[in-house]
Structure 1
Amino acid sequence: MQQLTVNLWMNGTAEEAGQFYASALPQTTMEVESRYPEEGLADFQQPLAGQALTVSVWVGGTKLTLINAGPEFSPNPSISLILNFDPSAMEDAAVQLDAAWEALLDGGTVLMPLGEYPFSPRYGWVSDRYGVSWQLMLTNPAGEPAPLMIPNLMFAGAAQNKAAEAIDFYTGLLGGEIKAKFNYEQANDVVNTQSVMFSDFTLGPDIVSAMDSGVAQDLNFTPGVSLQWDCDGQEEIDRVWDALSAVPEAEQCGWLTDKFGVSWQIVPSNMGELMSRPNAFEHMMGMKKLVIDEF
């Protein structure tokens, strides 16, 4: 059962974006999961009354959540989504990859052109019309099966060359193991031979990828793309929250920022049931760390 969910901050476009992804990506569906209440909203939230609050998008069975909010944040390529097109598990994988590429590119921007690379016979990196970054890859059918979608964390800017430290920290705290890790063979002005060129690892039942940027770029993690971690009970929320939170002023409504700059939402696994309680949204807005008994 999925425990880690990538959440995307949308500037009032969550429902529209969910419908776009359901049409653009293979094996993808969407659903409005929750809506803003009609009453009890802060002044800045009033324009969103009754609109979608969260939209769930399932890509090959992996859930992605779109958060409908304002213009405060936006996604950037520091956290992207890798789409694995596996010929052994998908009919006409290359054709489906090309179709998804064309759909995502409509109104988007190419970050790495679609073509042949040493690590894949067909690969491309694109930022779509909503600023969300996708890496599309035709995988080796003889390799280990992978989910259609996995998140990739790129450590750049203030977090440059901290990928290895972060991987060890996350897997130790949340329970996981490193599946593969490759370092850069040659140092340059940005990376050294201890920097991570590519890695993938597990967090609970989920697979995550991470890397250090191979070129200098002023690109930092932001709440535009956050990682949600579901916890069973208040004791587990407290443990994970206390270990991860490193920026007190960023704590709000279950959100925190860790020492690498990554934004997390630490939530109870029964969040849906809690949010169905009377005045739950108003109660949540008054919290920093989520306290189950206060919903």
Structure 2
Amino acid sequence: MAEQKITPSLWFDGVALEAVEFYVSVFPDSEILNVARYPEEGLLDFQKHLAGKPLSIQFTLRGVKFDAINAGPEFKFNEAISLIVDCADQAEIDRYWEALSAVPESEQCGWLKDKYGLSWQIVPENMGELMASPGAFERMMSMKKLDIEGLRGTGA
């Protein structure tokens, strides 16, 4: 496998380590690689409370490298970016949906938002094939969590 040359970086307001620990617990083949902490020396007066706290965390989710940073409240996640999870079957969709979904009003067409505000798309790995069937788009638009049989038009 080729070395990963692009690493997504996720900005958190003081909860980066908590979020990373949660994500690593949800996804198999995931681990925390490194936790860098704010230094004890050299901080400005308004930063002194950060000394020793996590600054950035390098981690993997299902073998993909990410970076998380504790950087403050200036920026929040929004739906302009999401992470796609390709699922082998309905049981895997159901498991990730249950673990990650925390904002029911944000659920639509396989998209959800977790308790940290990050958007995810929990989709079947054969989504392109499923969407090629007549009426699949309309059926998808009526769903929150995707239902594979429903996308096929054979669901209840």
- TM > 0.5: yes
Once residues 204 and 280 of structure 1 are traced to their aligned partners in structure 2, the CA distance between those partners, rounded to angstroms, is 29
Once residues 74 and 48 of structure 2 are traced to their aligned partners in structure 1, the CA distance between those partners, rounded to angstroms, is 14
Higher RCO (C-alpha under 8 Å, 6+ residues apart): 2
TM-score under structure 2 length normalisation:
0.86
Secondary structure of 2:134's partner? coil
2:68 paired residue among 190, 210, 213: 210
Partner of 1:166: 19
Partners of 2:11 and 2:75 within 8 A in 1: no
Compared CA separation, residues 286 and 190, structure 1 to 2 (3 A):
farther
Displacement of 1:191: 3.5
Partners of 1:191 and 1:212 within 8 A in 2: no
Displacement of 1:179: 1.3
Spell out, residue by residue over 1:51-82, the C-alpha distance to the aligned partner (whole angstroms, 9 max, x if none).
Answer: xxxxxxxxxx8xxxxxxxxxxxxxxxxxxxxx
2:76 paired residue among 196, 213, 220: 220
Once residues 114 and 91 of structure 2 are traced to their aligned partners in structure 1, the CA distance between those partners, rounded to angstroms, is 19
Partner of 1:42: none
Displacement of 1:180: 1.5
TM-score under structure 1 length normalisation:
0.47
Structure with higher helix content = 2
Partners of 1:247 and 1:259 within 8 A in 2: yes
Between the two proteins, the alignment pairs up a number of residues equal to 145
2:34 paired residue among 164, 171, 180: 180
Partner of 1:198: 56
Q: What is the aligned-residue identity percentage?
A: 46
Displacement of 1:217: 4.3
Structure 1 segments (4+ residues) deviating >6 Å: none
Compared CA separation, residues 153 and 190, structure 1 to 2 (3 A):
farther
Displacement of 1:194: 2.4
Once residues 124 and 95 of structure 2 are traced to their aligned partners in structure 1, the CA distance between those partners, rounded to angstroms, is 12
Secondary structure of 1:220's partner? coil
Secondary structure of 1:200's partner? strand
- For 1:219-258, list aligned pairs within 5 A: 219-258=75-114
Partners of 1:250 and 1:256 within 8 A in 2: yes
Secondary structure of 2:59's partner? strand
Displacement of 1:211: 0.9
Secondary structure of 1:172's partner? helix
Displacement of 1:199: 2.0
Once residues 64 and 114 of structure 2 are traced to their aligned partners in structure 1, the CA distance between those partners, rounded to angstroms, is 20
Once residues 94 and 80 of structure 2 are traced to their aligned partners in structure 1, the CA distance between those partners, rounded to angstroms, is 24
Tell me the amino acid that sits aligned with residue 174 of structure 1: F
Compared CA separation, residues 289 and 168, structure 1 to 2 (3 A):
same
Partners of 1:251 and 1:288 within 8 A in 2: yes
| Structure 1 position 149 matched with structure 2 position 6 | yes
Displacement of 1:190: 7.0
Once residues 147 and 84 of structure 2 are traced to their aligned partners in structure 1, the CA distance between those partners, rounded to angstroms, is 16
Partners of 1:161 and 1:191 within 8 A in 2: no
Partners of 2:85 and 2:120 within 8 A in 1: yes
Partners of 1:251 and 1:289 within 8 A in 2: yes
Once residues 192 and 212 of structure 1 are traced to their aligned partners in structure 2, the CA distance between those partners, rounded to angstroms, is 12
Tell me the amino acid that sits aligned with residue 177 of structure 1: E
